[in-house]
Amino acid sequence: MLEHAEPNYMKIFYWLLALTIVEVAVVYAHLPKWTTVIALVLMALAKAFLVAWNFMHLRFEKSALILMVGLPLLLLVDLLLGLMPDIGHHIF
């Protein structure tokens, strides 16, 4: 088994903290609803990526495992984009 260096956990913590602070600021900024929703979803995806990449050690996994995680995410994005007209009609 190959040895790998541990991630810098404090650096990841500060990134997650900064993204959380920005999320709270976006909510209180009173932006248009669609802008708020898109910004919050993108930041949540960034935080999920940071956690999976570092704490779940996906950085060091084989590409097959990354595909098992990435393909359902792509299908989810495709589903959401396909349903956007129906979702947008009720949200916005």
d(CA 33, CA 27): 10
Predicted local distance difference test score (pLDDT) of residue 90 = 62
Helix, strand counts (H, E) of the chain:
3, 0
What is the Cα Rg of the chain in Å?
17
Q: pTM for the complete prediction?
A: 0.64
d(CA 33, CA 55): 32
Tokens of 1: 């088994």
In the predicted model, is pLDDT for residue 4 greater than 70? Answer: no
- Mean pLDDT within 20-37: 94
What is the residue extent of each domain of the chain? 1-59, 61-92
d(CA 50, CA 16): 8
Confidence of residue 65 (pLDDT cuts 50, 70, 90): confident
Q: Rounded to an integer, what is the distance from CA 88 to the centroid of its chain?
A: 21
